[in-house]
Structure 1
Amino acid sequence: MDERLSNLTWLRTFEAAARLLNFTKTGQELGLTQTAVSLHIRALEARLGSKLFYRQARRLELTEVGQAYALTVRQALGDIALATTRLFGAETAQTLTVRVPVSTSALWLAHLLPEFAARHPAINIRLVSNIWTAPEPRDDMDADVEIRLGQGNWEDGTALRLSQETIVPVCAASREQPVLVSELLQGPLIHILGYEDHWARYFAAHELPYASEHARFSVDTTVSALQLVAGGGGYATVLARFAKLSITRGMGIAIAGPEMPFQQSHYLIRRKASGPLRPEVQLFEAWLTEIFARSDD
């Protein structure tokens, strides 16, 4: 057995500290003093031979290895807790409410959820979607897991980046594929509300002029844009992960040009007032990190 495998108390302390990014709050959650929390973390770092946190004047920040280790530890603790419940406690199904942007849900996550269900049959998923980034006030606290697409600068919680996104132009599979990016300017072009600058950014990256009046259609979701594209309505720029999975699943679209980096990413949101993570939440978050990393490779 690897001698660096640490005692469970240190790992529980590390998981909570990685989630709360505050040793005082970690101590309050676990019934420990701030000093005890700090000693646990230092002992764990010494055992592993690697720093897990950057300690700054008024805040903590996970190192890259700390972020990776936190996800592994969280999944392991979740597995232990669920196994204990199944073997020694009442085996009742647990339900997770997961809030996701509507296009991420419909075009990507919903297609992958059967994989999670196969791994964890005792966990049920309630998937809820919102069109815009910020949820309605009445929905603020009803989600166990929340994913947002943006730049990570929200003030109502801590944002952990899950992805590096790119965008691609797409056209109908039945349409003649453009040979040059400049051919896309002939349109027709589709705008997605909230992302009207996609085409301008895409053409600017290829040193091509673009005027917004070139757009013939405007829709409010990527789902609608892809349906319009598949029906022969023109070209749209969408996240590459949505386009690739849609093509794999048989939607009648094709990628019509090179990928371009996108200034937004998917983030896992941790609410400031959240308490200890339930085991099933730990498992779902670890799985999310895995599937985002897999599709980014």
Structure 2
Amino acid sequence: MADVRTGRPIRPTDRFRAGSITKTVIATVTLQLAAERKLNLDDPVTTHLPAATAALLPCPGDSDSRAPGCRITVRQLLTHTSGLFSYTDDRAFFRRFFGPGFTAHRFETHKPDALVRTALTHPPYAAPGERYRYSNTDYLLLGMVIRQVTGHSYATEAHRRVIAPLRLTGTSFPGTRAGLPSPHGRAYTTTGNSRTADATDLNPSSAGAAGELVSTLPDLNRLFGALLRGTLLPAPELRLMRDTTDSYGRYGMGLFPVRLPCHRTLWGHNGEISGSYVQTLGTTDGRHLVSYRVNSDAPVDAAAERALLTAEFCPKA
């Protein structure tokens, strides 16, 4: 149901928050810039950040020898192998903005630098390139890289390079706007003690380049179909996007593989933010896709999810 008070069903064209599917768009824009030779994936990320932000990242020789700092490359941000702590893993931050404190703090605005500072109060997960660990901080920084390289916000560049060319009329970057564009249903979150709150309106700047996107199911199918077919990226960059070597098969660059019992491999991404969960997956050629979502952040039944994908993509006996 789009609204538990009225019983209205969810409609395919309803707008909703797509969470970390934002990362697929950010990775696409970053790889387009690499294809245009406006950056190199093996550049130290500090060379493509504002000086104030670069100064936040400790470098070798600083007091903490484990600090990743200026050894982190753009590639490592894309593949989640930077080692940087995810700011959303900070317990106080999570409780305040996604847990029991959500209703009191849902409309607060967050600056990317402040979120990076939250991440850097914690030691890194690992040295740069040492291992895969999903981190929202990585894509927060990539959003800042896009601005530094192009002179425009990641939202502006994503609209110009992805949203407008594909005519994704239900897709947008809301910035700090709390409301969802119409049409939309409601969104529901669990805030603690099994209590449910309406999470439809919130300031998504706590997610930023890691998860602020708003979209629709048809738009997501169109986006991933175009991406997987090679409409948005040259062939070498698309191959990089699906190269999971650095993560030992778990994640490429803004895409991850899902392997089904019938030995088919799908590519896509999921997204979760207060009140919303979504996943889009498609075949390697982008010709067969499925997007599905729920307007809740309660855990999705993994067995039911796998059964849905098997029914959709595995040939019938």
| Band the TM-score falls in, shorter-chain normalisation | under 0.3
Q: Please identify the structure whose Cα radius of gyration is greater.
A: 1
| TM-score (norm. length: structure 2) | 0.25
